[in-house]
Amino acid sequence: MAEVQKRGVLHCGTNGELPGFSSVDREGRWSGFDVDLCKAVAAAVLRDVNKVKYIPATANNRFDMLRSGQIDVLARNTTITLRRTAGTGVRFAAVTFFDGQAFVVPKRLNISTLVALDGKRVCITRGTTYEENTAEWFSLRKLAVTPVLFDTTQSTIEAFLSGACDAVTHQSTGLATAIIATGKAADYQVLPTLISKEPHGPYVRSGDDVWQDVVRWAHNARLEAEELGVTSLNVEQRVRNTTDPETRRLLGLDPGNGKALGLDEEWAIRIIKHVGNYGESYEKYFGSGSPLRFARGANALWTHGGLLYSLPMR
């Protein structure tokens, strides 16, 4: 953390090619769910959400970039697995999004099940869990597909859309955003079976527990804020008026959390005010405020049938 503060800029490794999660417009402005995670960390550590340098990372080079110090945090729709964290020099900080691996096909092929992909070509991004999952799923059922591999998400999707493959596979949310972005979503079908669990979250380098804690609790502060009904619009009012003990701890009114993390006591206020709580980001990029209008599903709070809740902020 001291290195980031001395530099004055957070180096965030992210995708850049996956609308909803992270993308960059023609004017160089970055946005997305993963981008908001980096903004939250910058708000906590540097007191400014704009002090972030977004560095594109591919599925192949992302962990090398993290280990080498090119990036401080990897926030790039990256699945958390045992072998990615055990003895690899990297650690995940939190689970921020629950997803699963899906397949999309053109409707003109009249394919309605995964079994019907036997003998077909499937576009896959190289170096992802999707590559391994696909091989295992079809092999187990004594079926075979021909993987056609690409280095980036964008090249994988573009190849599929150009007809290079009969199907494309990726995380279900990412696939949906990419297909909707073409403006021709009616021409494609998402097959109903998910073949994996894909818990996503940010990664940091091993050996820096303080930094891992900061990234973890920056995420948890946003979840806690949603649970407590604290938003970017009402956070200042809650600072003035709240008597609720949990809210007072979150906002640093009853001090201690900031000191424990090596931060000032207003770190969570800045995150909520300038980035928003978890639900605000979800609604903006995937929910009612986006073209996707996805239900929260597993990414709803536990009190609403989802899997998410904040660790105790005390």
For domain 101-196, say whether CATH 3.40.190.10 is its number. Answer: yes
pLDDT of res. 299: 97
| Helices first, then strands: H and E counts in the chain | 13, 15
pLDDT of res. 78: 94
> What residue spans define the domains of the chain?
2-97+200-301, 101-196
pLDDT of res. 187: 94
Cβ burial of 148 (10 Å; 0-12, 13-18, 19+) is: middle
pLDDT of res. 289: 85
Kindly report, residue by residue over 122-134, the tens digit of the pLDDT.
Answer: 999 998 999 999 9
Residues of the chain with pLDDT under 70: none
pLDDT of res. 288: 86
Strands 198-200, 97-99: pairing is antiparallel
Query: Which positions ≥6 away from 137 have C-beta within 8 Å?
Result: 114, 195, 196
Domain 2-97+200-301: which topology?
D-Maltodextrin-Binding Protein; domain 2 (3.40.190)
The 3-state DSSP class for residue 147 equals strand
pLDDT of res. 178: 86
Is the whole model's pTM more than 0.85, yes or no? Answer: yes
Judge whether 2-97+200-301 and 101-196 match in fold: yes
Instruction: Give how far Cα 114 sits from Cα of 160, 233, 240, Å.
Output: 17, 45, 55
pLDDT of res. 291: 80
pLDDT of res. 195: 97
Q: Give me the residues paired with residue 18 across strands.
A: 22
Q: What is the distance between the alpha carbons of residues 172 and 262, in angstroms, rounded to a whole number?
A: 38
